[in-house]
Amino acid sequence: MTAGDAEAIEHALLDALSAGENAEIADTWGFAEAMGCPHTETVGVLISLEAEEMLKSKKLETTYFVVSAEGQRVIEEGSPEMRVLECVPVGSDGISKAGLEAALGADVVKIGLGQCMKNKWVAKGEGGVLVRGANGGDGAVEDAAKELLKKVEGGETLGDQQAKDLKRRKLVTQVTRKSFKVTRGGSYAVRRVKRQAELTKEMLASGSWKDAAFKEYNFKTLGAPCGGGNLHPLLKVRTEFRKILMFMGFEEMPTNRWVESSFWNFDSLFQPQSHPARDAHDTFFIKDPASALSFPENYLEVVKDTHETGGSTGSVGYGCEWKREEASKNLLRTHTTAVSSQMLHRIANQEGGFTPKRYFSIDRVFRNETMDATHLCEFHQVEGMIADRNLCLGDLIGVIKTFFHKIGITQIRFKPAYNPYTEPSMEIFGYHPDLKKWTEIGNSGMFRPEMLLPMGLPKDVRVIAWGLSLERPTMIKYGITNIRELFGHKADLNRTKTAPVCRFD
Ligand code: FB9
C-alpha cells in the first residue's frame, strides 16, 4: 500500500463521516469494496485514525456462505441427483445401477441416487432397475441444489434449512468476515492534523512550535531494548544468596581455584583414603600436574596419625596405612568444603590465635556423575560455616532456618544423614511453596574433631556447616525443569536475556 493509497483511504474514511455528528460507516467491508481497495488496508488506516481518537470502530462479525469447489462443479455440471435423473429414462425399462455408474461414475451415483431416492425422483422398478419416481416426471424437475448455489454465488442469503442442507453436502462453506462499523471519535476532524513528534530547534528558531500540534507523549511505549549484558539466572540467585549471607555476617571464602590436592579436598576433612568418592568414578583427577608439591608438613604428619590411629583426638582413626602420594593427587574439587578446611587451618594458625568466624562460599564443584535432568558433572555449591566456641546442633539448625527463611522456605525438617567429615550430619528438607511439596534442600553437619583438632583449633571450638546447590533453587525460581536448559550449549540465551530480577523477599 503506497502512502498515497493510505492517504486516499484516510481521507475517504474521514469524508464519509463529515456528514454530521452521527454519521457512520455501517460496514468497512462494503466501504472498502466501494473504494476498490483491500479491506485489510482500510482497517490499517482505521486503526491508526482510531489511535488518535479521530474515529471509533465497533467490531462486526458477518457469517455467510460461499460456494465450495464441490458446489462450483454442481453449478457447472448440475447436481449429482439431476445428473442421475437425466440418466434414468422415462418409462418402465429404467436403468440398472451398474448402467448408471458406467455413465456417471460411482461417486456421483452414490450421492445422486441417494438424493434422487429422497426426493422421490427415482424409484426401484421391476427386478430392481431404477425408474423415474413419483416426482421424477420428465421436465418437471428443477435442479434445486444448483439454483440455490447460484443464489449463494450471487450473494443472496439462504434459508437456514437450505443452508444446513448445502453445508451438510459440503456444497457451500461458512465464512465469518470480520469488519467494523465506524463512527466519529472524540477528536474527529475532516483531515488529520499532522502532529509533530518532537520539538526541533528549527521550530524554536522559527516560532512555528506555537501553533504546531504535537503528538501525545505515550508513556506506555516500551523504550528501545537497550543491549548490554545480562546476568545469567544462576548469577542473579548467587548475588541474592551473597547479599543474604553477608547480611547474616558471613564473609566470602576465596574459591577461585578449581584444582585442589586430595589432601585438602579429602584428607584434611578426615575422609578415609579408601572412601569410594576418592576414586576416579566420582572424582576428576588431574593428569598434569598429577601431584601437589607442598603441604604444611607438621599438619600433614598429624593428619596422617589421625587417619591411622586417631592421633590425639580421642578417635581410633581408620587403622590403616595413610599414603602421602594418595593425598598428593591433584583433582577438580568435589566440594567447596576443600576451601573451608584451608580457611579453618588458617584461622587456627593465625597471629593472635583462633577468632570466631562465619564464612561462606558459592562456586563450582566437579563430580564425575551420570548426567540427568537435574545433575551435571559440575554444579555450584553454596556452603556456610561458623567456627566458634561451644557451638551445638541447635546453633546449626538455627542458622540453617534463618538462611532458608530468607530464601522463601519457612517449613524445614531435618533428617539424620552421614558425611565422612561431619558428625552428627543432617539432610535438610523444605516445603517448597511453588512446588507445593517437601524437597531435599541441602545437607549439613558438625565437623568432626578428627578434622578440627589436627588443624590446631582449640578443644572447645566447634564448627557447624551446611551446603546446598545454586542450580536447584535457580531452576525452581525460573521454572526450569531440565538443568541442561540452565547451563551449557543448550541454554536458551533469550531466556537468560529476559529472565526477571531474582527477588527472595
Ligand atoms: O540444593 C539442593 N536442593 C535444593 C536447594 C534449594 C532449593 O530451593 C530453594 C528455595 C529456593 C531447592 C532444592 N540439594 C543439594 C538437594 C538435592 O538437590 C540433591 O539431590 C543434590 N544436591 C547436590 C549434590 O548432589 C550430589 C544439592 C547439592 C549439594 C548437596 C550437599 C551439599 C551441597 C550441595 C553439602 C554439604 C555440606 C554438608 C556438611 C557440611 C558442609 C557442607
- Reported as a single tens digit per residue, the pLDDT across 307-354 is 999 999 999 999 999 999 999 999 999 999 999 999 999 999 999 999
Whether 299 has a pLDDT exceeding 70, the answer reads yes
CA 315 to chain centroid, in Å, comes to 53
Question: Higher confidence at residue 483 or residue 329?
Answer: 329
Ordered alpha helix ranges (H), 363-428: 393-406
Cell of 297: 608438613
Cell of 278: 576418592
CA distances from 151 to 63, 65, 158 (A): 16, 10, 8
Residues in the chain: 505
What's the confidence (pLDDT) of residue 381? 97
What is the Cα gyration radius of the chain? 43
Average pLDDT estimate for 294-306:
97
- Residues in contact with 218: Cβ distance below 8 Å, sequence separation at least 6, in sequence order: none
Count of C-beta atoms within a 10 Å radius of residue 483? 22
- Reported as a single tens digit per residue, the pLDDT across 67-82 is 999 999 999 999 999 9
Count of C-beta atoms within a 10 Å radius of residue 320? 11
- Reported as a single tens digit per residue, the pLDDT across 253-285 is 999 999 999 999 999 999 999 998 898 888 999
- Reported as a single tens digit per residue, the pLDDT across 183-200 is 999 989 998 877 888 899
- Reported as a single tens digit per residue, the pLDDT across 85-117 is 999 988 778 899 999 999 999 999 999 999 898
pTM over 0.75: no
What's the confidence (pLDDT) of residue 1? 55
Q: How confident is the model at residue 466 (pLDDT cuts 50, 70, 90)?
A: very high
Tell me the three state secondary structure of residue 139. coil
Instruction: Supply angle C-alpha 387, 392, 394, rounded to 5.
Output: 115
Whether 358 has a pLDDT exceeding 60, the answer reads yes
Torsion of CA 458, 427, 470, 394, to 10 degrees: -50
Report the alpha-carbon distance of residue 343 to residue 255 in Å, rounded. Answer: 11
Closest CA to 296 of 316, 268, 321, 326: 268
Closest CA to 100 of 83, 117, 114: 83
Report the alpha-carbon distance of residue 269 to residue 373 in Å, rounded. Answer: 30
Pocket test for ligand 1, best of 372, 472, 483, 503 (most atoms within 8 A of CB): 472
Q: How confident is the model at residue 439 (pLDDT cuts 50, 70, 90)?
A: very high
Domains in the chain with CATH codes: 1-64+175-221 (3.30.1370.240), 69-168 (1.10.10), 234-498 (3.30.930.10)
What's the confidence (pLDDT) of residue 140? 66
Mean per-residue pLDDT of the chain = 91
Query: Burial level of 484, CB count in 10 A (0-12/13-18/19+)?
Result: middle
CA of 466 to the centre of ligand 1 (A): 9
CA of 457 to the centre of ligand 1 (A): 28
* For ligand 1, atom 36: residue with the closest CA: 467
Q: How confident is the model at residue 2 (pLDDT cuts 50, 70, 90)?
A: low
Cell of 116: 434422487
CA of 285 to the centre of ligand 1 (A): 23
- Reported as a single tens digit per residue, the pLDDT across 43-53 is 999 999 998 89
Q: Are 174 and 167 in contact (CB under 8 A)?
A: yes
- Residues in contact with 223: Cβ distance below 8 Å, sequence separation at least 6, in sequence order: none
* For ligand 1, atom 21: residue with the closest CA: 469
Closest CA to 159 of 151, 71, 142, 70: 151
Report the alpha-carbon distance of residue 133 to residue 195 in Å, rounded. Answer: 75
Average pLDDT estimate for 447-471:
97
CA of 273 to the centre of ligand 1 (A): 24
- Reported as a single tens digit per residue, the pLDDT across 202-242 is 999 999 989 888 888 888 888 888 778 888 999 999 999 99
Pocket lining for ligand 1, CB < 6 angstroms: 337, 381, 383, 407-409, 419, 422, 439-445, 465-469, 472-473, 476
Average pLDDT estimate for 17-42:
91
Closest CA to 452 of 252, 356, 313: 313
Residue that is written with C-alpha cell 585442589 in the block? 260
What's the confidence (pLDDT) of residue 253? 98
What's the confidence (pLDDT) of residue 489? 79
Q: What percent of the chain has pLDDT over 90?
A: 67
Closest atom of ligand 1 to 447 CA is 40
Whether 138 has a pLDDT exceeding 70, the answer reads no
Closest atom of ligand 1 to 469 CA is 1
* For ligand 1, atom 37: residue with the closest CA: 467
DSSP-assigned letters across all residues of 385-401 = EEEEET--HHHHHHHHH
Whether 499 has a pLDDT exceeding 90, the answer reads no
Q: Are 90 and 121 in contact (CB under 8 A)?
A: no
Count of C-beta atoms within a 10 Å radius of residue 212? 15
DSSP-assigned letters across all residues of 246-271 = HHTT-EE------EEEHHHHTGGGT-
What's the confidence (pLDDT) of residue 498? 82
Instruction: Supply angle C-alpha 65, 67, 71, rounded to 5.
Output: 140
Pocket test for ligand 1, best of 241, 361, 469 (most atoms within 8 A of CB): 469
CA distances from 225 to 229, 496, 497, 498 (A): 12, 15, 11, 11
CA distances from 392 to 345, 399, 464 (A): 21, 11, 8
Closest CA to 82 of 61, 41, 113: 113
Tell me the three state secondary structure of residue 379. strand
Instruction: Supply angle C-alpha 241, 247, 252, rounded to 5.
Output: 60
Count of C-beta atoms within a 10 Å radius of residue 200? 13
Average pLDDT estimate for 155-180:
89
